[in-house]
Structure 1
Amino acid sequence: MTTGAVAFWNILIKDMRTYYLKPPNISWGIVFPLAWTAMFFIKSGEGLHDMRQVLPGVVAVSILFGTTSMLAVAVTFEKKNRSFERLLLAPISLTQLMLAKTSGAIVFGMANASVPMVLAALWTDLGPVQWPLFCAAVFLIAAASTFLGLFIAVAVSEVFEAQTFSNFFRFPMIFLCGLFFPIDRLPTPLRLLSYGLPLTYGADLLHRAIEGRGALPVALDLSMLTLFCVGLFLTSLWNIQRKWIL
């Protein structure tokens, strides 16, 4: 392995051990999807046969909260305690460094997505699932949510600010991105706003993969999610170079 690859791997493993593989985070990744699933089942009163309609939203929310919560706190904490400056001494470029820092959150988000799928498979017959499309959707949602968390972390200086700012994006996306309520039922201004949010396209992919229905072309969903990933990551790099690197 090259020096850069070794540094990348060590940063990833360090973050996984320090932040993501702690018992509270692992238990949160299990309890949170289960609580959301139970909440919507109790609300609808329709029971297990409604699983395929609820599952895409639960998967997306589990990824969104898992990635943004952990990464925004981790990066903000390291910057405040000046440990991030030591990472800048690693023999890799800033782009590789931030990819290493964000890879742990992406993996954690994808692991969170598997929890509701396993629980759903134990409770009921999911029927046919387009697994390649599902895996692509989970990866892109995890990446977009992670880079959103990075964008938030770079924009603030305190951990509590990162959590507050994260909620400013997360909670509107739950209601505007078609996770649990169809977008076509929203008023026109809110419907236009929903198409400016990355989770709209991820939710559409998940609905298509699990339920076999989608409102947008698959190519558009994949392209928009990729565009959001690239845009958020490059914007975060620009902010890091402008604010953190003198």
Structure 2
Amino acid sequence: MKTWIAFWSIVRKDMKAYYLKPPNVSWGLLFPLAWTGMFLIRSGQDTHSLQSVLPGMIALSVLFGTSSMLAVAVTFEKKARAFDRLLLSPIPLVLLMLAKTSGAILFGMFNALVPVLLGFWFADLSGTDWSMVVPAVLLIAVVSTYLSLLLAILATEVFEVQTLSNFVRFPMIFLCGLFFPVTALPWFLQPLSFMLPLTYGVDILHAAIQGEQILPAALDFAALAGFCLLLFSLSLHSINRHWIG
């Protein structure tokens, strides 16, 4: 019981200290709102065009919602040695990592609501399979969070982790099928696309919203889950090596 009280205390502290601050909430709302609005204006009244960009906007909102604040928060706490005190607390390291990342996962899923609500207003989502959308958004949030955590562990300064994050995030925008199909990429870039976890999440969202997909849904979900476990294991190993060992 005490362990779970500590878990909830860490999540609640991070939500208050980082994710629920007005600037972060406004950024979390304005970024997906601006991007989605831009593509809605570009698409006009073409419902098919709106549905084609909505999966990418959902994935992009989750990606930036999870990674923007977590990487900075972890790097800041590490530099201020606040993370060292957490490592000394009587809570298992795995549970500590889950507590530190739960806020980012929830905030990323919250960000996904912005393009979804706009999609309800401007597009016909009556045929959307929400039983695929919800777990896909959750897995995208988890994999984005642990990718961001791994980058934060490897960096020592805030500007370093921001540079690393942008170095990873922006290529994913163009390589993962957010705004045009992976099959439309040059043949030599397509293998690189399938090495990135966001590709599989976007493929699930396209299947759920448009009914179009590249891979079977089961394979997409398995790949996303595999990336989640891989990034979590790498983060755990990096913490043990760089911060504890």
Could you state the TM-score of these two structures normalised by the residue count of structure 2? 0.96
Aligned to 2:239: 240
Taking the aligned partners of 2:75 and 2:210, their CA distance within structure 1 comes to 38
Which residue identity lines up with residue 3 of structure 2 in the other structure?
G
Taking the aligned partners of 2:180 and 2:52, their CA distance within structure 1 comes to 10
State the identity as a percent. Answer: 60
Give 1:38 deviation, angstroms: 2.4
8 Å contact from structure 2 (residues 61, 108) kept in 1: yes
**Paired residue total:** 245
Deviations along 1:162-190, one digit per CA (max 9) or x if unpaired, are 11100111011000001111111111110
Aligned to 1:148: 147
Deviations along 1:198-242, one digit per CA (max 9) or x if unpaired, are 000000001111112211111110111011111111101111111
Match status 1:196 vs 2:195: yes
Match status 1:14 vs 2:39: no
Taking the aligned partners of 1:10 and 1:89, their CA distance within structure 2 comes to 15
Aligned to 2:217: 218
Match status 1:23 vs 2:22: yes
8 Å contact from structure 1 (residues 60, 203) kept in 2: yes
Taking the aligned partners of 1:114 and 1:36, their CA distance within structure 2 comes to 13
Give 1:89 deviation, angstroms: 2.6
Q: Indicate the larger mover: 186-195 or 28-37.
A: 28-37
Unaligned ranges ≥5, structure 1: none
Aligned to 2:62: 63
Unaligned ranges ≥5, structure 2: none
Taking the aligned partners of 2:48 and 2:175, their CA distance within structure 1 comes to 25
Which residue identity lines up with residue 184 of structure 2 in the other structure?
R
Deviations along 1:4-62, one digit per CA (max 9) or x if unpaired, are 11111100111011110011111112211121122223445555552211110000000
Large movers: runs of 4+ above 6 Å: none
Taking the aligned partners of 1:135 and 1:5, their CA distance within structure 2 comes to 26
Taking the aligned partners of 1:39 and 1:121, their CA distance within structure 2 comes to 16
Taking the aligned partners of 1:68 and 1:238, their CA distance within structure 2 comes to 20
Q: Indicate the larger mover: 204-213 or 30-39.
A: 30-39
8 Å contact from structure 1 (residues 177, 197) kept in 2: yes
Deviations along 1:96-152, one digit per CA (max 9) or x if unpaired, are 101100111000000001111112212343221111110010000000000000010
Aligned to 1:81: 80
Give 1:74 deviation, angstroms: 0.7
8 Å contact from structure 1 (residues 7, 90) kept in 2: no
Taking the aligned partners of 2:235 and 2:54, their CA distance within structure 1 comes to 31
Deviations along 1:50-77, one digit per CA (max 9) or x if unpaired, are 2211110000000101111111011000
Taking the aligned partners of 2:210 and 2:96, their CA distance within structure 1 comes to 38
Taking the aligned partners of 1:84 and 1:57, their CA distance within structure 2 comes to 34
SS of the residue 1:96 aligns to? helix
What is the RMSD computed on CA atoms of the aligned residues? 1.3
8 Å contact from structure 1 (residues 59, 113) kept in 2: yes
Q: Residues 205, 139 of structure 1: CA spacing in aligned structure 2 closer, same or farther, 3 A cutoff? A: same
SS of the residue 2:195 aligns to? coil
Which residue identity lines up with residue 84 of structure 1 in the other structure?
F
